[in-house]
């Protein structure tokens, strides 16, 4: 509706039953009066900025603090500014960003990391590792204002890790810093994404290293010189073929001795799905030995009693020194690859092996039948496969155990 607005006319209007009533003022083009079903009335003014976009301005509520004459006067002022190319809304947004920037400049990198942890990292399964990466990489800047952080700081953190001989891990550092940089930029803590353009430390290729049975046995034998903490850790990694974080974070309440299995909740697995792992006789032997030491609750592998054991990188380096001369470089993850390869060679089905390793799917686009079939646990077959694997690794005849108890 268009009409030359008067106070009498405005006072005569009644709120609509639903939605809102809008009347455009013919005396001041672009000025509109809006009356909602709740009885609330406001002034709106729309005007295109010279050389810029059309902007909508909320002038205030009627009748107070903005009456008809005040609304027309305010609209006239905005019109005059728009004719000169002055954009009130853009200016207000710029002032808001500048105010936030100034506020951010008083926050240190450490303080913003705390905010990032609380709002984002705390929701991630990898929270502890990611926070550790960030704090170590930014150690020289933690007490500096967040606005002082530069791209060269980010690049140096990546390059320093690469120079230490850990190029693949340097790429992980780059990914963590890039995610953090984007987060603080989007939220206005910094004026630009300082990680843009930071180079990778190396171009990574898919791993092709497959541990042979002889190599796996060499690792197994060397673990008995690793002591009472790390020896059992590596032996359980070898016998269960689970991810190292799942073994390091293993808790006594996740172990069922009577059923020869451990059950990891979805919160502790990579694909966020609960996972059952059969425990072959040697694995049960390791855990029972630890249990006899009086450990029956909390973390299985711990030195503090309150947190999982840490320092597996240094422990792996010690283990490497115990291996035969000429032993090819390997990673802990290669245990899983070796298991999958050897079990496939031994005739185990891909479905069974994938479930032992807790992979999400056996194909990128499984059929309907495949998707339904993939829900099967195949626990009995998985137990047989892990018992076979234990025999291969230890060279000892295993007491073959089913998930539900001893086999016939």
Which of 1-15, 89-103, 163-177 is least confident?
A: 89-103
Whether residue 103 has pLDDT greater than 70: no
Q: Tell me the CA distances in angstroms from 229 to 261, 280, 315, 376, one per residue in order.
A: 21, 20, 10, 35
Mean pLDDT of 212-216: 93
Decide: residue 10, CB within 10 A, 0-12 exposed, 13-18 middle, 19+ buried: middle
Q: Which of 282, 218, 275 is nearest to 243 (CA)?
A: 275
Residue with tokens 């790429």: 171
Q: Residue 102: what pLDDT?
A: 65
pLDDT level of residue 166 (50, 70, 90 thresholds)? confident
Q: Residue 116: what pLDDT?
A: 94
Which of 185-189, 225-229, 296-300 is least confident?
A: 296-300
Whether residue 398 has pLDDT greater than 60: no
Concatenate the DSSP letters of all residues of 318-348 into one string.
Answer: HHHHTSPTTPPP--TTHHHHHHHHHHHHTT-
What are the strands, taking DSSP E only, across 197-323? 255-256, 261-264, 275-278
Q: Residue 345: what pLDDT?
A: 86
Whether residue 4 has pLDDT greater than 50: yes
Measured in residues, the chain has a length of 408
Rounded Cα gap, residues 357 and 267, in angstroms: 16
Which of 194-208, 281-295, 389-403 is least confident?
A: 389-403
Would you say the pTM of this structure is higher than 0.75? no
Mean pLDDT of 376-392: 88
pLDDT level of residue 270 (50, 70, 90 thresholds)? confident
Strands 275-278, 54-62: pairing kind: unpaired
Dihedral Cα 223, 227, 228, 230, nearest 10 deg = -60
CA 212 to chain centre: 34
Rounded Cα gap, residues 331 and 219, in angstroms: 11
Which of 194-208, 223-237, 250-264 is least confident?
A: 194-208
Q: Which of 284, 393, 289, 285 is nearest to 338 (CA)?
A: 393
Provide the token pair at 38. Answer: 């709740």
- Cβ within 8 Å of residue 370, ≥6 positions away: 362, 363
Mean pLDDT of 199-209: 75
Which of 102-106, 174-178, 282-286, 324-328 is least confident?
A: 102-106
pLDDT digits (tens, 9 = 90+) for 317-372: 999 999 999 999 999 999 999 999 988 888 888 889 999 998 864 444 444 444 44
Strands 20-25, 31-36: pairing kind: antiparallel
For 145, which DSSP code?
B
Q: Tell me the CA distances in angstroms from 182 to 104, 120, 148, 170, one per residue in order.
A: 15, 12, 15, 18
Q: Tell me the CA distances in angstroms from 12 to 5, 41, 71, one per residue in order.
A: 11, 13, 18
Provide the token pair at 357. Answer: 């390793």
For 25, which DSSP code?
E
Which of 164-178, 293-307, 385-399 is least confident?
A: 293-307
Q: Residue 233: what pLDDT?
A: 96
pLDDT level of residue 272 (50, 70, 90 thresholds)? confident
């Amino acid at each position: 509706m268009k009409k030359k607005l008067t106070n009498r006319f405005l006072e005569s209007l009644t709120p609509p039953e639903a939605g809102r009533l809008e009347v455009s003022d013919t005396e001041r083009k672009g000025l509109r009066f809006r009356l909602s079903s709740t009885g609330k009335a406001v002034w709106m003014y729309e005007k295109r900025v010279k050389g810029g976009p059309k902007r909508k301005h909320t002038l205030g509520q009627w009748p107070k603090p903005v009456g008809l004459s005040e609304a027309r006067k305010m609209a006239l002022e905005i019109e005059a500014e728009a004719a000169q190319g002055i954009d009130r809304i853009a200016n207000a947004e710029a002032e808001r960003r500048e105010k936030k920037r100034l506020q951010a400049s008083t926050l240190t990198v450490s303080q913003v990391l705390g905010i990032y942890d609380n709002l984002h990292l705390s929701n991630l399964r990898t929270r502890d590792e990611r926070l550790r990466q960030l704090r170590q990489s930014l150690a020289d800047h933690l007490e500096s204002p967040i606005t002082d952080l530069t791209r060269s700081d980010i690049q140096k953190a990546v390059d320093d890790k690469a120079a230490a001989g850990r190029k693949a891990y340097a790429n992980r550092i780059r990914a963590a810093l890039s995610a953090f940089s984007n987060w603080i930029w989007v939220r206005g803590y910094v004026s630009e994404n300082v990680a843009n353009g930071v180079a990778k430390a190396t171009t990574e290729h898919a791993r092709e290293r497959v541990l042979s049975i002889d190599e796996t046995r060499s690792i197994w034998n060397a673990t008995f010189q690793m002591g009472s903490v790390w020896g059992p850790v590596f032996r359980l990694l070898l016998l269960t073929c689970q991810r190292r974080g799942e073994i390091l974070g293993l808790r006594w309440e996740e172990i069922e001795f009577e059923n020869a299995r451990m059950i990891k909740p979805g919160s502790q697995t990579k694909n966020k799905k609960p996972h059952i792992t059969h425990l072959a006789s040697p694995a049960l032997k390791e855990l029972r030995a630890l249990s006899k030491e009086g450990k029956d609750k909390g973390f299985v592998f711990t030195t503090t009693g309150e947190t999982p054991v840490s320092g597996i990188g240094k422990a792996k380096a010690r283990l490497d020194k115990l291996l035969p001369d000429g032993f090819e470089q390997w990673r802990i993850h290669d245990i899983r690859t070796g298991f999958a390869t050897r079990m496939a060679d031994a005739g185990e089905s891909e479905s069974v092996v994938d479930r032992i390793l807790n992979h999400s799917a056996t194909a990128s686009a499984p059929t309907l039948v495949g998707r339904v079939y993939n829900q099967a646990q195949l626990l009995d077959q998985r137990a047989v496969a892990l018992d076979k694997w234990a025999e291969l690794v230890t060279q000892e005849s295993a007491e073959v155990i089913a998930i539900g108890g001893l086999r016939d």
